[in-house]
Amino acid sequence: MKVYISVDMEGIAGVATLDQVVRGGHGYERACALMTEETNAAVRGAFDGGATEVVVSDSHGTMDNLLHERLDPRARLVFGSPRGFCMAEGLTEEHDLALFVGYHAPAGARGVLAHTFSSHFLGVRVNGEDASETSVNALFAATRGVPVGLVTGDDVICDLAQALLPGVVTAAVKVAHGYSATSTLAPAPARDLVQARARDAVRRADRMRLVAVPDSLRLELDLPNMLAAEMVSAVPGTTRIGDRTVARDIASADELLGLVTVGFTLAHHALLARNVLVRGH
């Protein structure tokens, strides 16, 4: 039983502010510690449930947030960026189940620190529907034959996951009170909950079903400014359908994640260029 765990930070218990999730913020080091220990809880739960191998993917920001010396030594770690499959790097057909820990609501939703892959995207849609990191990564996993068994985070993403993913187990470790406000479980009971739910998900792995993979995919990205839209629309096959919106018909989930990664990288550089021009003016 091989289990893949993708771990984000915004959905971790005790995390709710930008100061915590951005490197250099006063709360960042504490958030890294909280993320690491909640990851360990998921790893323990996976092994409790019968996993024989566990791979953990550090999936937040620069993707090097977890405190390696404090990680459960039984797990192998994928970390660092950029990487082609973003939050799902290292997920292969060899895995039997995927667990998403510390996940959050999509851009435009009312959840804690809600966004989709990057704050540089004001909106992300797949086939006209608002997309979350959960839905996109679950789609990628399904193309590898891997179901998603667990989603943890705030109440908003847990509700969305239950509506999207057949048979998924969820663990709401906090309740959204706004974009950067929450009512959260304390770390110890949150970890107990994540461990128990991870164990349950792995024990039920043979009953988990894949999310449906559409026959065709169309990705739309709402960018932060017109320069970003101009730069992303230069990617071959991508068209600009609005002042700040680009679209592309996508051949596969692999290509979808690739364009997402290229898109937020180009948007980042567009914002840097704009800031340079503003300071120069």
Q: How far apart are CA 155 and CA 103, in angstroms?
A: 11
Please list, in sequence order, all residues whose beta carbon lies within 8 angstroms of the beta carbon of residue 192, skipping any fewer than 6 positions away.
41
The tokens for 170 are 């969820």
Other CB atoms within 10 Å distance of the CB of residue 230: 16
The tokens for 7 are 């771990």
Phi-psi region of 128 (alpha: psi -120 to 50; beta: other; left: phi over 0): left
Report whether 150 contacts 165 (CB < 8 A): no
For residue 267, the SS3 value is helix
In what helix (H) or strand (E) does residue 9 lie, and over which residues does it extend?
none
Residues with catalytic function: 115
For residue 38, the SS3 value is helix
Q: How far apart are CA 87 and CA 10, in angstroms?
A: 14
Q: Where are the alpha helices (DSSP H) in 6-132?
A: 18-21, 28-48
Please spell the DSSP secondary structure of 167-224, one letter per residue: T-EEEEEEEEEETTEEEE--HHHHHHHHHHHHHHHHHTGGG--PPPPPSSEEEEEE-S
CA angle 6, 218, 59 (to 5 degrees): 15
